[in-house]
Amino acid sequence: MNVLVTGATGFVGSRLVAGLCALTDHDVTVLVRDAEDYDPPDDGITVAEGDVLEEGSFEDALEGIDLAYYLIHTMGGGDEDLIAQDRQAARNFERAATDAGLGRIVYLSGLGNEDERLSEHLASRRLVESELRAGSADVTVLRAAIIIGAESASFRIVRQLAKRLPVMVTPRWVHVECQPIAIDDVIAYLLAVLERPETAGETYEIGGPDVLTYGEMLRTTARITRGWEPVIVPVPVLTPTLSAYWVDLVTDVDPQVAHRLIEGMVNPVVVEDDRLRELVGVDPTPFEEAVRSALAEEVTLDGDTLESGLPDEGHPLEE
């Protein structure tokens, strides 16, 4: 099978490409904006250059492709810019996919109950789902909450808050429930639907085995990274927008990205339909194990034991 991965340089995309090369015999093409700056993890990868926001620049990459992973999502700019860019990118890709006769698209979206008012971040994900489904390709959607892994912006916010603040004054979202998922499990699901044609055209929800509040996530991460839990004081008048500015002061996550993610924390993101796990048999990783794996990978990536999240005492992390 000929497989295309868009967003191949991103947190999820780069790991998916590595998984495709290591665990499957499929022919892999990646679409990147700068081919010269891309270092493929395998010599057999075909590298195509283009930008889905620029019609005419990327369409050739779809020639002969059987399934494409769409892993593109805008996080910068204002709300209108975010929605407009996501819509235009998805629309351009859908049109090109239809023209190329592409059979399947797999899209990684976000969890969130549509009966509630979704944040701009999550609403934009839903919009992309609709745009991709407007074409002739069968679209498989996987909806996930926070992904736990090194280089995940969401996890970096949680980890840095947990490590750097002994006392936290937080908004009410600290009590909102979330079902985080380990990056390895996300990749396992993305690879699994590739091999299961019956998943074409379906929407699935994926998550780890633990449903936690954001406060519980912060406490658990703090206990792992420094051996004790912070004092968390919820304040009703502290809005998500104000708390996003507070996060700017404490973490190194890009402010625009942090604001998107924090504003999305007002929405509970819990799996209500577990069909895919039952279908493909993924054994979900517990939250604590996922956190330890992410911290260990950060040590490998940057070698900075303090900022990578190693406990200050220097205790070894469990794999």
- What digits encode the pLDDT tens for the residues 11-70? 999 999 999 999 999 999 999 999 999 999 999 999 999 999 999 999 999 999 999 999
Confidence check: pLDDT of 264 > 80? no
For residues 231-239, average pLDDT? 64
Q: In which band, very low, low, confident or very high, does the pLDDT at 310 lie, cut at 50, 70 and 90?
A: very low
Write down the residue that tokens 């008012």 correspond to: 117
Q: What is the pLDDT of residue 185?
A: 98
Confidence check: pLDDT of 166 > 80? no
Least confident range of 65-79, 228-242, 302-316: 302-316
Q: What is the pLDDT of residue 236?
A: 64
For residues 217-223, average pLDDT? 90
3-state SS assignment for residue 119: coil
Confidence check: pLDDT of 269 > 70? yes
Q: What is the pLDDT of residue 318?
A: 25
Percent of the chain residues topping a pLDDT of 70: 80
Q: What pTM was estimated for this model as a whole? A: 0.88
Strands 27-32 and 147-148: unpaired
Q: What is the pLDDT of residue 312?
A: 31
- Domains within the chain, CATH numbers bracketed: 2-145+182-205 (3.40.50.720)
Task: Kindly calculate the radius of gyration of the chain based on its CA atoms and give it in whole angstroms.
Answer: 19
For the stretch 252-259, contacts whose Cβ atoms lie closer than 8 Å and that sit 24 or more positions apart, written own/partner, are: 252/156, 252/160, 253/153, 253/156, 253/157, 253/160, 254/75, 254/76, 254/153, 256/75, 256/76, 256/77, 257/75, 257/76, 257/153, 258/153, 258/157
